[in-house]
Chains A and B, each alone.
Chain A
Amino acid sequence: MTETVLSVKNLTTHFFTRSGVVKAVDNVSFDLAKGEIMGLVGESGSGKTVTGFSLLGLVDEPGRIVSGSITLKDKALTSLSNAELRRWRGREISMIFQDPIATLNPVLTIGRQMRLAIAAHERTSARAAEDRATDLLSKVGIPSARARLDAYPHEFSGGMRQRVAIAIALLHRPSVIIADEPTTALDVSIQAQILQQMRVLAAETGTAMIWISHDLAVVSSLASKLAVMYAGRIVEQGPTATLLRNPRHPYTAGLMNSLPAMTKPGTPLKQIPGTTPSLLSLPPGCPFAPRCQRATAQCQHDPELTIHGDRGWRCFDPVGHMDEVSS
């Protein structure tokens, strides 16, 4: 059994808005082993990004973590004060965002931003900080890194900026990195490069990763296990290979069927009928029921997450067949 670095139990994050309570993250639980890559998949608005921010303790007003626990390397993050939490962010757990253009500060040089990130956790000489920054920039694939330290973000392309952001996130060799669709805004060719690099870096440093994406195809090429989110909950989770071979939740099955690769060329793509429900007014019972062709009367009640070996799902009437339960 490998060592668990991050353990999330019943994490629930609500936004208390004018128009009502938005249950953005609802009872989410998962474990992450050292060096493991987990894919967190779902449509926009399914709560994957809020889950990421919850892990960092960076949920914006008017949202807050209502209940649940987050344990990182035996430390309960949910019980830490803001000041203590800050010392963990960037050092043990860090995050990369979707839009590299918005994440870097346009009026500070790359070197300055990296030095600030180093100084947040360590006192080093300027020289050492510069060496460290250069080293990481070359690692993420930025040529003539030392010279580029004095450059401003706008002098880099989008892909390069994302690499810089990744370098910043890796500065302290954190145990966990949350990558929130970091390649969505980039060209496909650059996307592939960055994916490959992230995989190598994570393996090298033993960093575990939560890869958030709406794109099942991208995630499945990278992650060893998957968690599928719908309306703020994890509706299915399990090892990538078995989950993709034999999806149990109708939503997962629908997602897979809608992949272009699963469709015969020339035939229309299969879509899941209906739209994502508003998190403000969730129907009682299973939130997927209104879009589910298999829904029956018992779906008026909310199914619990049931665990079956290394897999789990929230459905009374799962599709597919029972796996032979492996130990």
Chain B
Amino acid sequence: MNRQSTPFTRFWNEFRENRIAVLALSIVVLLALLALFASFVSPQNPYDLANLSLMDSRRPPGFVGTGGYTHWLGTDPQGRDLLSAIFYGLRISIQIGLAAGFVSLSIGAALGILAAYIGGRVENLIMRLVDLQLSFPAILLALVIVALLGQGKVQLISALVAAQYAYFARTAYGAAKAERGKDYIEAAVATPLGSRLVILKHLLPNCTPPLIVVATVQIANSISLEATLSFLGLGLPVTEPSLGMLISNGFPYMMSGRYWISVYPGVALIILIVAINIVGDQVRDQFNPRLRR
């Protein structure tokens, strides 16, 4: 019982008990590393057109192409090695998921805490808007914004942020509001230390656990949403395909039995999203005091 026990080690020890969650976490880390070092682990640079040969296009898994190496997962219509394309695609998907997640987190948390802190009309205005938006499906919003802004990474991330910040705002607001109502906060506001300290020292820390939970889920959602938009042809430019784009490119060939072009990137995408969600589930359960034993 007398082990060194910081909140983090306690959290980790509890996390470790769920073996599936640990497996999921290692998969997330592994995929992130593969994405990070895509250029070292890929047999081919799929973005370098000089590397590609149409002779190699749409070849089945295990085919040895003009490059002299085996395409373990086959090739796509442009003759890209699918394994390499998946690594690079992972990189883009994770990048966009993280970027959209963090921007939404910052904007949402700031709005939510501010609404809870200031109260009154500002609170009403912000939360009404957030609720209104929450009742509206995120995918539609993202769809319309992407359609209006055009294609590109920044545009896509903006669309994802616009579609998702409201979840963070609602969460932060709920947690901050509950804390704001407590007497000690009222007392702290009245001291000359003032509002900044209250927000930083009391409101923010209390919002952190639920925000972390929402963040895990929303990063997975961003990745999934990005893939969906790309699949609908509204995502990123074709030159740097994300996983969703790879799947979309393979869709027409599916009917003729060339399943691998869509299926393998899809499998990678699903493993990534499912793993993040399992980790998120475990974190949520650990943060939920009502389910604590």
**A residues lining the B interface (CB < 8 Å):** 17-18, 20, 62, 281
Task: For A18, list chain B residues within 8 Å (CB).
Answer: 14, 17, 293
Q: Could you say which residues of chain A place their CB within 8 Å of the CB of B14?
A: 18
Query: How many A-B residue pairs lie within 8 Å, measured between CB atoms?
Result: 7
Do residues B1 and A62 form an inter-chain contact, with CB atoms below 8 A? no
- For the complex, give the distance between the alpha carbons of A18 and B293 in Å: 6
Mark out the residues of chain B between 1 and 59 whose CB falls within 8 Å of any chain A CB in the assembled complex: 1, 14, 17
A20 to B1, CA, bound (A): 10
Question: How far is it, in angstroms, between the C-alpha of A281 and the C-alpha of B14 when the chains are bound?
Answer: 20
A281 and B1: CB pair below 8 A?
yes
Within 8 A of A (CB), among B229-271: none
Query: When the two chains form their complex, are residues B1 and A17 in contact, meaning their CB atoms are under 8 A apart?
Result: no
Measured CA separation A281–B2 after assembly (Å): 12
Name the residue of chain B whose CB is nearest to the CB of A61: B293
Q: List 7 A-B contacts (CB under 8 A).
A: A17-B293, A18-B14, A18-B17, A18-B293, A20-B1, A62-B293, A281-B1
List the A side residues contacting B293 at CB < 8 Å.
17-18, 62
Task: Please indicate the chain B residues that have their CB under 8 angstroms from the CB of A62 in the complex.
Answer: 293
Q: Tell me the complex Cα distance, A17–B291, Å.
A: 12
A115 to B23 CA separation, bound complex (whole angstroms): 51
Q: Which of B1, B14, B17, B293 has the most CB of A within 10 A?
A: B293
List of 6 A-B pairs having minimum Cβ-Cβ separation, nearest first: A17-B293, A18-B293, A62-B293, A281-B1, A18-B14, A18-B17
Q: Determine the residue in chain B with the shortest Cβ distance to A18.
A: B293
Query: Once the chains are docked, how many angstroms separate the CA of A264 from the CA of B251?
Result: 88
A18 to B1, CA, bound (A): 12
- A326 to B1: give the CA distance in the assembly, Å: 49
Contacting residues, chain B, for A17 (C-beta < 8 A) = 293
Nearest CB to that of A281 among chain B residues?
B1
CB distance from A11 to the nearest CB of B (A): 22
CB nearest to A16 among chain B residues: B293
Instruction: Determine the chain B residues whose CB is within 8 A of the CB of A20 once the complex forms.
Output: 1
**Residues on the A chain within 8 Å of B17, using CB:** 18
Tell me the nearest residue of chain B to A17, going by C-beta. Answer: B293
CA distance A300 to B1 in the complex (A): 21
Q: How far is the CA of A62 from the CA of B291 in the complex (A)?
A: 12
C-alpha spacing A71/B14, complex, angstroms? 40
Chain A nearest CB from B51 CB (Å) reads 54
Give, as a whole number of angstroms, the nearest-CB distance from A67 to chain B.
Answer: 22
| Distance to closest chain B CB from A23 (angstroms) | 16
CA distance A20 to B293 in the complex (A): 10
* A252 CA / B171 CA spacing, docked (Å): 48
Instruction: Kindly state the separation between the CA atoms of A89 and B79 in the bound complex, as whole angstroms.
Output: 73
A20 to B17, CA, bound (A): 15
A18 CA to B291 CA in the complex, in Å? Answer: 12
Residues of B near A281 (CB, < 8 A) are 1
**Nearest CB of B to A22, in Å:** 10
Shortest distance between the CB of B235 and any CB in chain A (Å): 44
**Closest chain A residue to B14 by CB distance?**
A18
Complex Cα distance, B14 from A228, in Å, reads: 37
Nearest CB on B from A20, distance (A): 8
Q: How far is the CA of A281 from the CA of B293 in the complex (A)?
A: 16
The distance from the CB of A145 to the nearest CB of chain B, in whole angstroms, is: 37
Residue among A17, A18, A20, A62 with the most chain B CB within 10 A?
A18
Bound complex: CA A17 to CA B292 (Å):
9
The chain A residue with its CB closest to the CB of B17 is: A18
Least CB distance, A298 to chain B, in whole angstroms:
27
> Nearest chain A CB to B16's CB is how many angstroms away?
12
Closest beta carbon of chain A to B19's beta carbon, Å: 15
Name the residue on A nearest B10 (C-beta): A19
Nearest CB on A from B193, distance (A) = 32
- A-contact bits for B171-205, CB 8 A (1 contact / 0 none): 00000000000000000000000000000000000
Chain A residues whose CB sits within 8 angstroms of the CB of B1 once the complex forms: 20, 281
Rounded to whole Å, the gap between the CB of A19 and the closest CB of chain B is 8
Q: For the complex formed, measure the closest distance between the CB of A117 and the CB atoms of chain B, giving whole angstroms.
A: 27
Q: Tell me, in angstroms, the Cα distance from A17 to B17 when the chains sit together.
A: 13
User: Quick one: closest A residue to B1, CB to CB?
Assistant: A281
Complex Cα spacing A20 to B14, Å: 13
Residue interface bits B139-162, CB-to-A below 8 A is 1, else 0: 000000000000000000000000
B74 to chain A, nearest CB (A): 47
How far, in whole Å, are A247 and B95 apart by their CA atoms in the complex? 72
A18 to chain B, nearest CB (A): 5
